Structure 1
Amino acid sequence: MGGGCGDMLDAMTLLNEQPATAADLLPLALTSYGHFTSMRADADRRIRGLSLHLERLARDSETVFGTTVDPARVRRLVATALDGTPGPCVVRVTHYDPAVNLARPADATTPQLLVTARPAADLPPPPLTAQTITYERDLPQVKHCGLFGALHARRTAQLNGFDDALFTGTDGLVSEGGTWNIGFIDTDNTIVWPQAPVLPGVTMALLQEHTAHTVAPVTAEQARGMTAAFATNTSIGVRALAAIDDHPLDTAHPALTALRDTYLKIPGEDL
């Protein structure tokens, strides 16, 4: 079972304790009804915010299926998927019911655990540019598998020459990115997280726990006038934004370096 995470993805995609088959994955592909969490496992197999990831799975399972998740079982499955893998990986745990069908989603009451792994990129990734696009995810508080709207917004932004989309509501307030939370550094160096319906990201929660900050409504115009901005998720850590729409931002601001250092110093949890 050697090799990197790329090899493991082919050989070790687990549905419960068994290798997943194409037939197992077909209901998920056809309905996208399920929820998940993704977590970065460092080379020592420790995971920052593991407890928060497990809490998310349990909370979202109650919303999506009316059931719960056994955290000890999740830990065992993740450990199995990581067995023998060198280097950091991003592990995704998806919770879905292979018996789901479009006509009777209410009958999907026995969700299963699908665990996959892929190589983790080096931290930090290069800065990105974002275009503001009016969009709000269905059930934004849930990390669900319905990614069409977010990916369509990302595609639109990329066709317009940007790296990704930054969502705003119909009220003009900034919420989140395509698959990431956003934070800002304002003109007096205060860390500002937008007050809006957003996914409660684990990386965002860890940074809020370890830094002084404020949470406030941020309009698209205010976002473009910030000194700096950053995206956060488990895969990218803290990633600077180089521009929002046509307004450049400071990607070398000292507060961004401090945020990255703070995040990397947060100890991971053992499986």
Structure 2
Amino acid sequence: MAELNGNPISLEELQALALTNYGHFTSMQIEDGRVRGLDLHLKRLARDCRTVFDVELDTKRVLELARRVAPVSGAAVVRVSIFDPALDMGHIGGDAQPQVLVTTRPAGDLPLPPLRVASVEFTRDLPAVKSVGLFASLHHRRQAQRAGFDDALFVDRQGLVSEGGTWNVGFIRDDRVIWPAADYLVGTTMELVKQVHEHVVLPITLPEMPTFDAASLSVSLG
């Protein structure tokens, strides 16, 4: 299902998102009508809307539109994308009137099995924003999978571990979570873990990784 501002999205409106591909989003797994960290998702949308469009987002309206399509039972993923169909590549600097696109898809299997990852030097554009432009992240994931791995782990130019394509990574030592000190998107699952578990933020390099007791990824649903 796909609705733009509560109405079925037209081909022309969807084409604007596909061709210009400028906007931001969040994805939430709905389980029997409930969402973990709903307030964090809404705060992310509001924060990113200010960054991307210089506009305040009506999060109450967003919540109303998401509830329209969210199933009351079972599991599904609801994605809320914020973009302006009137903006195009030639006139991207115009005043924005962001619109709310809500889509649903079946939920994947969680938790994920252990992953084998290949490290790659890469930092996303505006790492703190969950942007709709995922080409580079998916390209590195594809290259890793074609080389026999499950996914890619990003390392910045200073050699610091940062994140995966659509997930955060934390390391465990002495029952404490150590989050990387680097530029990356702070996921909602990561925020929830911080609220209930002792943690610190430290620079982490690839040679240090074998010294940890374990590593855990926090899925950000794409």
Same fold (TM > 0.5): yes
Matched, 1:110 2:108: no
The letter for the 2-side match of 1:218 is: I
CA distances 1:174-212 after superposition (whole Å, capped 9, x unpaired): 0000101100113x3431110100101111011011100
Q: Where do 1:54-93 residues align within 5 Å?
A: 54-83=42-71, 86-93=73-80
Partner of 2:139: 152
The letter for the 1-side match of 2:215 is: A
Cα deviation for residue 226 of structure 1 reads 2.5
Give the distance between the partners of 1:233 and 1:123, measured in 2 at CA. Answer: 9
Q: Where do 1:82-231 residues align within 5 Å?
A: 82-83=70-71, 86-186=73-173, 188-231=174-217
Matched, 1:31 2:20: yes
CA distances 1:40-75 after superposition (whole Å, capped 9, x unpaired): 1111x1111101100000000000000011111111
Cα deviation for residue 27 of structure 1 reads 1.2
Partner of 1:5: none
| Identity over aligned pairs, percent | 48
Moved over 4 A (4+): none
Q: Work out which of the residue numbers 10, 15, 23 in structure 2 matches 1:21.
A: 10
User: Does the CA contact (< 8 Å) of 2:168 and 2:220 recur in 1?
Assistant: no
User: Does the CA contact (< 8 Å) of 2:82 and 2:98 recur in 1?
Assistant: yes
Q: Secondary structure at the match of 2:208?
A: helix
CA distances 1:101-158 after superposition (whole Å, capped 9, x unpaired): 1111111511100000111123212121111100000000000011111111111111
Give the distance between the partners of 1:126 and 1:220, measured in 2 at CA. Answer: 22
User: Does the CA contact (< 8 Å) of 1:120 and 1:235 recur in 2?
Assistant: no
Give the distance between the partners of 2:211 and 2:130, measured in 1 at CA. Answer: 29
Give the distance between the partners of 2:36 and 2:220, measured in 1 at CA. Answer: 8
Partner of 2:37: 49
User: Does the CA contact (< 8 Å) of 1:174 and 1:223 recur in 2?
Assistant: no
The letter for the 2-side match of 1:105 is: I
> CA RMSD for the aligned pairs?
1.5
Q: Secondary structure at the match of 1:118?
A: strand
TM-score, normalization by structure 2: 0.95
- Between the two proteins, the alignment pairs up a number of residues equal to 222
Is there any run of 5+ residues in structure 1 with no aligned partner, and where? Answer: 1-11, 237-271
